[in-house]
Amino acid sequence: MAVAFVQLAKEMVSPTQVYVRFVRVQAYAPSVRGREKRINKATAPGKVILFGEHAVVYGRPAMAVPVLEVQAKAVLHSRRGDGFRIVAANLERDYRLADAPPNNPLAKIICLTYQYLKQPLPSNLELRLTSTIPLGRGLGSGAAVSTAIVRALAMFYDHPLSAEEVSALVYEVEKIHHGTPSGIDNTVIAFEQPVYFVKGKPIQRMHVSSPFTLVIGDTGMVSPTHRVVGDLRSRWQADPQQYEGYFDEISAITQQARIIIEQPDSDLARLGKLMNENHEVLVRLGISSPKLEQLIQAAHQAGALGAKLSGAGWGGNMIALATPQTAKAIAKALTQAGAVGVIVTKVK
């Protein structure tokens, strides 16, 4: 049995704290009897929202892109049968599917996928999950883990699924993570390409005419999406007219951004300005935070063409539009300003 030692950042997340430490886990060579030829593993990327978060929950368009630098991975192994086991290595959790608490998102996606594939649940399989996507920071960790699981099971049972099918299954579990999700996370992650997304409408794939560079800075603060979305919803209920106005402003910005990204020789300076404008409205919506502002300011000072928070807000990640020349300086400035993680990615 091949044994490799893999270093994993372990994150145990409670609403108020994040602990990061390193653990050693064993990666086993596949040895599923009778299924040696079957593919037993799959991955899924992270994502960031470029424009339109929150407004998308209220029917406006949003834009999101996959982030391939971070990935969730699901691997199936046979084991002596004491039930289907879930091993969440990053969380150091190992439990039987049958013992999972109600509304456990991992148990839900496994059961939904088995139902969809019309396969009986086996008693001698282990699903091992690892991820380099930070939890609860707007990079789509939950949707990516669910997507990797659906893909791994579909391949294991030789039942290829379309990106639409994967996305629809994952959406069911996003409801546990997010309450009233727009569906943008499962869509961009299942399709693994830039998307222009309107809730309830068929996905629109985007053509990125001039690839551009994003620097993503992590505040290190966990921000449960359902709380931010719920808080905003109560403020919207109290004053729908004002909030609908904000969402319309974001919608206009998102539509302009799409035109720029898709037209030849994209005006990236203008795109950066639109990111700033989108962020200003998000500030008025009350979903920024001092740490996000600190990182956004650092990005501007280091020469970003534009910057904004990305995802639910209150914490999580921000994004800055860079050029290949400025990306390094912006990444350094974000780290100096207190970012706990920085990713440089190319959108294409």
**Site residues for ligand PMV per CB under 6 A:** 49, 53-54, 56-57, 138, 140, 178, 181-182, 184-185, 225, 229, 311-312, 316
For 34, how many CA atoms within 13 A lie in the half-sphere containing its CB? 5
Question: Measured from the CB atom, is 201 or 328 closer to ligand PMV?
Answer: 201
Q: How far is the CB of 167 from ligand PMV (least distance, A)?
A: 13
- Closer Cβ to ligand PMV, 128 or 217, answer by number: 217
Catalytic residue among 94, 158, 185, 265: 185
Which single residue brings its beta carbon nearest to ligand PMV? 311
Min CB(228)–ligand PMV separation in Å: 6
**Of residues 131, 148, 186, the one with CA closest to residue 164:** 186
Residue 57 or 155 with smaller CB distance to ligand PMV: 57
Task: Locate 43 and state its tokens.
Answer: 């991955």
Radius of gyration, alpha carbons of the chain: 20
Phi-psi region of 311 (alpha: psi -120 to 50; beta: other; left: phi over 0): left
Q: Distances from the Cα of 1 to the Cαs of 4, 24, 44, 68, in angstroms? A: 10, 17, 26, 30
Closest CA to 169 of 263, 225, 236, 105: 105
Minimum CB–partner distance for residue 124 and ligand PMV (Å): 35
Characterise 203 by phi-psi region: left (phi > 0), alpha (psi -120 to 50), beta (else). Answer: beta
Please identify, using beta-carbon distances, which residue of 50 and 302 lies nearer to ligand PMV: 50
82 in catalytic set: no
Question: Minimum distance from CB of 79 to ligand PMV (Å)?
Answer: 33
Distance of alpha carbon 301 from alpha carbon 333, whole angstroms: 8
Catalytically active residues are 185
